[in-house]
Amino acid sequence: MEAEHERRICQRYSNRIRCYGLRHLRDGVAAEDLVQQVLLVVLQALRDGRVRDVDNLDGYVFGTCRHTVMDMRRGDARQRRIADESAATALPEGYEPPWALADRARLDACLERLDARARAVVLATFVDERDADDIGRAVGVSPGNVRVIRYRALAALQLCMEGGHPA
């Protein structure tokens, strides 16, 4: 029963932690490490009765996630020690829900279907990490317009990637 409960916890939080890691650490491997480290810390805390408000586990996992990311950024010794100590604690079998990787070839095809300006805005934002002010100056539109173009372009890309209408 306990194993099943822990598996449900892992399945609820794995992808939430992964998304947080991808956004903050910008690296798929580091995000995967984050998933494992946070789950191990949370499960151990639950087993030891150290989670005060079990009904607010969302908050506890989120807090653990934030602190672990800060430690990972610092390459903190404490984080390595936790990882070492936690290595003895196995995560339950089948703990991870599926995580679909985007099809790169399809992404290229969908990007090609965007108009040139929308494609430039998307690539400048997420590949070159330029902000809306900078992109707006280069493309000749306001930062607000950059955000609108980017939002619409991402929606079109998602639809295209998921097999809906072409971008």
CA-nearest of 49, 12, 18 to 31 is: 18
What whole-number distance in Å separates Cα of residue 39 and Cα of residue 17?
9
Residue of 43, 50, 55, 44 whose CA lies nearest to 13? 43
Helix (H, G, I), strand (E, B) or coil at 127: coil
According to the binding rule CB under 8 A, does residue 127 interact with other proteins?
yes
* Span interacting with other proteins, options 3-11, 47-55, 61-69, 70-78, rule CB under 8 A: 61-69
Q: Which two tokens stand for residue 117?
A: 């300006």
- Chain positions 83 to 102 lying near other proteins, rule: CB under 8 A, are 99-102
Asked if 115 interacts with other proteins (CB under 8 A), we say no
**Residues belonging to the chain:** 167
CA separation (Å) from 51 to 19, 57, 96? 23, 8, 22
Q: Is 28 in the site for other proteins (CB under 8 A)?
A: yes
Judged by beta carbon, residue 90 or residue 99, the one nearer other proteins is 99
Candidates 32-40, 76-84, 85-93, 155-163; binding stretch for other proteins (CB under 8 A): 155-163
Q: Using CB under 8 A, pick the residue from 3, 19, 70, 90 that binds other proteins.
A: 19
Closer residue to other proteins (CB): 77 or 101:
101
Site membership for other proteins, residue 128 (CB under 8 A)? yes
